[in-house]
Structure 1
Amino acid sequence: MDRRSLLRTAVVAGSTAALGGSLWRTAAVAAPAQPGAGPYGPLSAPDSNGIRLPKDFTSRVIARTGQKVGSTGYTWHPAPDGGACFSAEDGGWIYVSNSEVAPGGGAGAVRFDARGGITGAHRILDGTRLNCAGGKTPWNTWLSCEETDRGAVFETDPWGSKAAQRRPAMGLFKHEAAAVDPDRKVVYLTEDESDGCLYRFVPSTWGDLSAGRLEVLTMGSGTSGPVSWAKVPDPAAGGTRTRHQVAAAKHFDGGEGCHYADGTCWFTTKGDNRVWQLNCAANTIELAYDDDLVRQGEDAPLSGVDNITGSASGDLFVAEDGGNMEICLITPDDVVAPFLRVEGHGESEITGPAFSPDGKRLYFSSQRGADGSSSDGVTYEVAGPFRG
């Protein structure tokens, strides 16, 4: 019996499939999300942009690599990756997007008015390499993360008015994503290595990321249970990589997206196709989704887990790197289902999912487009009746 069949059998034998998500959140062992009908219904035929969406949702192209954004003079960057939205004083917003190329990298931004019209676009970061994902801070900066050996976090201004700042105190490693926890005043960081770690950065002064303490998650074997945090002796990794400095560190197979909401840090690992949930107050961890634990006889709807974000309803939106180019959602009731699919982009990946401040629009990119090239990236907006 292969690993997938063995694990599925264990789920059925333990009667996990018979219990709902709310029960399992209070139980000793978690029941990862299972396939089911999504809250928005089935996907319709592809629209004019090649995107399959639920009924009453529409899409539009915001930007294409190498082309001017709308009527602005700004040329959109190659390989658009992680992104986030920021509220503007005039009722509009800004969508920022990383560029995962080397050399070049960096990040750009698109400005929208209160009705969603594009009013501008600009550069917010230059001179970096392979900027993959990142995270939004409560003080309205964008943390752009380099996915390189001994890569750094750069704190940027979405408006492009202030110079970006390198934040080496947050560790030099193969960064992927960041998620800010304002309750415990820490920043969680994922690492894209096959034996990567989950870190948290504790700033010396909240709101200032120039100094602080880098810690790594520690725990025993398994996928659920209590966790602890240990200080990383040398965040600059002058001799030993950060992930190898603490013997008790928990290693994860390819850390990807990271999202914080309501006391939970959600993060994905692509090597084993899992979505994890860290209870930040209780310092416990469990699986929210694992394609090996889908019920016997059912297909796993989510594969190639990557960037992750959340909506006001508590739904998680998980983008696929490969797979069948879907964004899948995981509901608070532990149901996983496709939300959209991009057709004809089989050599690409979905990146940068982020909601507008009012929650009515979802932005994302096909990083390498239909051609499978970093020079063919496309950034989209989806609008519709998202539940609040």
Structure 2
Amino acid sequence: MDFDRRRVLQGGAAAGLAFAALGGGNLARARSANDGLPLVPDPERRLDLPEGFSYRLLTETGKPMTDGFTTPGRPDGMACFAHPTEAGKLVLVRNHEIFASIDHGRPWGEGDALIGQLDASKVYDPRGGPLPFHGGTTNLVLDAASGAVERDYLSLIGTVGNCAGGATPWGSWLTCEEQMLKPGEERAEKLHGFVYEVPADANGLVDPVPLTAMGRFAHEAASVDPDTGIVYLTEDSHTGLFYRFIPNVRGKLHAGGKLQALAIVDWDSADTRNWPLDWSLDTARKVPVGTRMAVRWIDMDDVESPAADLAARGFAAGAALFSRGEGLAYGRHANGAAEHYFNCTQGGYFGTGQVWSYAPGRGEGTADEQSGTLTLVYESPGPDTLDLCDNLAVAPWGDLILCEDGRGDNYLRALTPGGTIYDLARNAHEGKAEFCGACFSPDGATLFVNVQEPGFTYAISGPWEQLRGG
């Protein structure tokens, strides 16, 4: 079936905002209260998009790949690269968020008949055999002109809960394990909860080497600052921290480095969640939207502890607490200033999401560094406006693309620098699974995104230029 859709854009794309009345959202069935860019229902019940936009289905869970295996389930975080060695080609490196308890979505085919083809030396955790953990990554090579998938294959296997990650300036993907297993749990043979690096030009399974110096915690996303080589990291926990990793050798993460946690100047052990009440913490201090706060960084030790207590130790030492830090992406302002934006999925008074930014200070990561700045950019007033923002991407026109992992209809929302939310897509599939992995092609012409269940990867194209300045 052909899932391409062609429409003509009608009218402008300046996005307005009609906030839902506080407390008026139905958490069980979130709808859209956002003006601007009305979405056209898809007769195929896949993606509702604005007029003039179309999608192409690239891959589907369970379908054969060119390496002989089948496409794994639960596609999640993802990045797009210009192929480092093949002109005219793009590479998508894609996570598969498969936890230890999930049996479906294995890439071994019907009845696991393909497991014998797997190179056991490339498996991180064999789980005692015969079936290893089947989380990890896949690489898709696309023709840049036609958008067709030319080949796809496993690139990392044997990990668990590969949720999000981040692209590096040197052409690789940092895939992050969210599940912190230790030997004996779920038949694990190794520690989990690490970051792994997958080159965009990997031709098959890479050696699965955990970047242990980057810490063992509920890793979610990563963002590499191209000016400094510092890696910023989010943690998917209600009591998570925001981290930075200063590598010993820029661009060589396997050479180790220093892990630190963010603390707010003059507010030790800050609770930034803005929840209405938490008896266990001092919640008298709230963070208004637009507040800019100076930060300091706390050195972390024993970063790969089997006790999985890194966040608790960091908070006790003064680090700031965030509610489910997830999507994280690097952007640059017109004046050249760098910014790392991140989502807190259940932050805010209504627990439906916050968007933060961190602006590095001058001399970031050096002995002479000046304080960076943490800013609360946006807080959701309810699920009908923004419901559980997860993965995040910076659009070529400067807006932030927010993937929802909500409790009703899920949308791709966009957030303008002026604080306006508008809708880019609605998941019209049965089951209303989350959007994830939003990323743009290097030329900005195509937005790639995953629908996690039942497991689809899409390419969306259209008149993006209409959104510039909208």
Is TM more than 0.5 here? yes
Deviation of the 1:279 alpha carbon: 1.8
How far does the alpha carbon of each residue in 1:106-148 deviate from its partner, in whole angstroms, 9 at most, with x for none?
A: 1102111121121111111011111110000001111010011
1:53 corresponding residue in structure 2: 49
Deviation of the 1:234 alpha carbon: 1.6
1:231 corresponding residue in structure 2: 299
TM (norm. structure 2) is: 0.69
Q: Tell me the amino acid that sits aligned with residue 128 of structure 1.
A: T
- Among 94, 97, 106, the alignment partner of 1:97 is 94
Q: Tell me the amino acid that sits aligned with residue 213 of structure 1.
A: K
Work out whether 1:121 is the aligned partner of 2:152.
yes
Distance in 1 between residues matched to 2:306 and 2:72, nearest whole Å: 32
2:374 corresponding residue in structure 1: 285
Distance in 2 between residues matched to 1:183 and 1:229, nearest whole Å: 19
- Among 258, 270, 282, the alignment partner of 1:213 is 258
Distance in 2 between residues matched to 1:338 and 1:218, nearest whole Å: 34
2:201 corresponding residue in structure 1: 159
Deviation of the 1:75 alpha carbon: 1.9
1:271 corresponding residue in structure 2: 346
What secondary structure sits across from 1:194 in the alignment? Answer: coil
Distance in 2 between residues matched to 1:114 and 1:65, nearest whole Å: 23
Q: Cα gap change, 1:250/1:325 in structure 2, threshold over 3 Å: closer, same or farther?
A: same
How far does the alpha carbon of each residue in 1:351-381 deviate from its partner, in whole angstroms, 9 at most, with x for none?
A: 111111111111111111xxxxxxx211111
Q: Cα gap change, 1:172/1:72 in structure 2, threshold over 3 Å: closer, same or farther?
A: closer
Please say if residues 217 and 227 of structure 1, whose CA atoms lie closer than 8 Å, have aligned partners that are also in contact: yes
Please say if residues 319 and 351 of structure 1, whose CA atoms lie closer than 8 Å, have aligned partners that are also in contact: yes
Work out whether 1:112 is the aligned partner of 2:187.
no
What secondary structure sits across from 2:311 in the alignment? Answer: helix
What secondary structure sits across from 1:185 in the alignment? Answer: coil
Deviation of the 1:73 alpha carbon: 4.6
- Gapped runs of 5+ residues in structure 1? 7-34, 369-375
Map 1:354-365 onto structure 2 (within 5 A): 354-365=439-450
Deviation of the 1:333 alpha carbon: 2.7
- Among 157, 161, 185, the alignment partner of 2:229 is 185
Distance in 2 between residues matched to 1:185 and 1:291, nearest whole Å: 32
Distance in 1 between residues matched to 2:166 and 2:172, nearest whole Å: 9
CA radius of gyration, larger in: 2
Q: Cα gap change, 1:345/1:290 in structure 2, threshold over 3 Å: closer, same or farther?
A: farther
Work out whether 1:261 is the aligned partner of 2:305.
no
Distance in 1 between residues matched to 2:461 and 2:68, nearest whole Å: 25
Residue-pair matches, total: 342
Question: Identity of aligned pairs, percent?
Answer: 35
2:396 corresponding residue in structure 1: 312
- Gapped runs of 5+ residues in structure 2? 1-20, 24-32, 101-132, 181-191, 271-285, 333-337, 348-352, 362-370
Distance in 2 between residues matched to 1:218 and 1:346, nearest whole Å: 39
Work out whether 1:135 is the aligned partner of 2:166.
yes
Q: Tell me the amino acid that sits aligned with residue 64 of structure 2.
A: K
Distance in 1 between residues matched to 2:194 and 2:177, nearest whole Å: 6
What secondary structure sits across from 1:173 in the alignment? Answer: coil
Please say if residues 268 and 306 of structure 1, whose CA atoms lie closer than 8 Å, have aligned partners that are also in contact: yes
2:74 corresponding residue in structure 1: 79
Deviation of the 1:240 alpha carbon: 6.2
What secondary structure sits across from 1:271 in the alignment? Answer: coil
TM (norm. structure 1) is: 0.83
2:385 corresponding residue in structure 1: 301
Q: Tell me the amino acid that sits aligned with residue 54 of structure 1.
A: P
Please say if residues 427 and 433 of structure 2, whose CA atoms lie closer than 8 Å, have aligned partners that are also in contact: no
How far does the alpha carbon of each residue in 1:299-344 deviate from its partner, in whole angstroms, 9 at most, with x for none?
A: 7421111000011111110000024210000112321111100113
Q: Tell me the amino acid that sits aligned with residue 316 of structure 1.
A: L
> Following superposition, which runs of at least 4 residues in structure 1 exceed 6 angstroms of deviation?
none
Deviation of the 1:283 alpha carbon: 1.3
Distance in 1 between residues matched to 2:308 and 2:198, nearest whole Å: 28
Q: Tell me the amino acid that sits aligned with residue 142 of structure 1.
A: W
Bigger fraction of residues in strand = 1
Distance in 1 between residues matched to 2:159 and 2:236, nearest whole Å: 17
* Cα root mean square deviation, aligned: 2.1
Distance in 2 between residues matched to 1:201 and 1:50, nearest whole Å: 39
Distance in 2 between residues matched to 1:305 and 1:231, nearest whole Å: 29
How far does the alpha carbon of each residue in 1:210-234 deviate from its partner, in whole angstroms, 9 at most, with x for none?
A: 2000000001244341111111122
How far does the alpha carbon of each residue in 1:223-272 deviate from its partner, in whole angstroms, 9 at most, with x for none?
A: 34111111112211245611122320101111111111111111111122
Distance in 1 between residues matched to 2:413 and 2:440, nearest whole Å: 15
Q: Tell me the amino acid that sits aligned with residue 152 of structure 1.
A: F
